[in-house]
Every structure is written in structure tokens, then in C-alpha cells.
Amino acid sequence: MSISAAEVKKHRTKNSCWMVINNDVYDVTAFLNEHPGGEDALLKYGGKDGTQAFEDVGHSPDARELMKKFKIGSLHPQERKFYVDPCNKWKWIMLALAAAIIAGVAARRYYAPG
């Protein structure tokens, strides 16, 4: 089911708490009292996109499996965001660093007096 961001925004209370994680919409109302980080951790992102906070915490595979039962749909395709996998981002940073080092060594050899 496709859900608009405007509809998600309507659900940001203890009585109805929806949030977006990686473009999927979750109704976490029934999980508020069970969340190990407390209900405030979820309510803070009620009606919003909580992807960054969710990924920053580093949820376990068990937590990711558990959240499947709370999924109620996905954001409308025109409202979806592109997320960079943190591991993939570091791979590109390391590749760019290696390329810079290689370029520096090559330039030093090329321009070295001799």
C-alpha cells in the first residue's frame, strides 16, 4: 500500500504513532511500551522519517525481523528518498583516499628532480 508523507505526519501521538524507515511506513503504536529504548525514542520520530536515527543505533538482525510485523505500507514513489548504505559510503571514501595517495606518489616521482 502506498502512503503519503502527509498521512504519516498525522500519526505522531501515543494513540497512533507511524514512522518511516527506509521508505517503508510502520505503525509502531503497539510497540511503544515494548521498545527497549523507551517510547520517547519512537515518539520523537512519530509522523516523520526516522531512517537516520534507526541506522545510527545499529539495530540487530532480530530487531529488523521484528519490525516487519509493524509495516503497513511504503511511501508514495514520488516521496521516497535515496539512502546511501553506510558501508557503501565508507567503501567509496576509502577508494577516493587510495586514489589520492597513488596520485600523490605518482606526481612526486614524475616531478622529482633527477
> Where in the sequence is the domain holding 47, given as residue range(s)?
2-79
Share of the chain above pLDDT 90, in %: 64
Indicate if 57 and 71 belong to the same structural domain: yes
Indicate if 105 and 72 belong to the same structural domain: no
Q: What is the pLDDT of residues 58-111, one digit of tens each?
A: 889 999 999 999 999 999 999 998 765 656 667 777 888 888 899 888 888 888
> What pLDDT, on a 0 to 100 scale, did the predictor assign at position 36?
92
- Predicted model pTM: 0.72
Residue with cell 528518498: 81
Indicate if 88 and 107 belong to the same structural domain: yes
Indicate if 19 and 73 belong to the same structural domain: yes
Indicate if 7 and 25 belong to the same structural domain: yes
> For the chain, what is the mean pLDDT?
90
Phi, psi of 9 (to 5 degrees): -60, -25
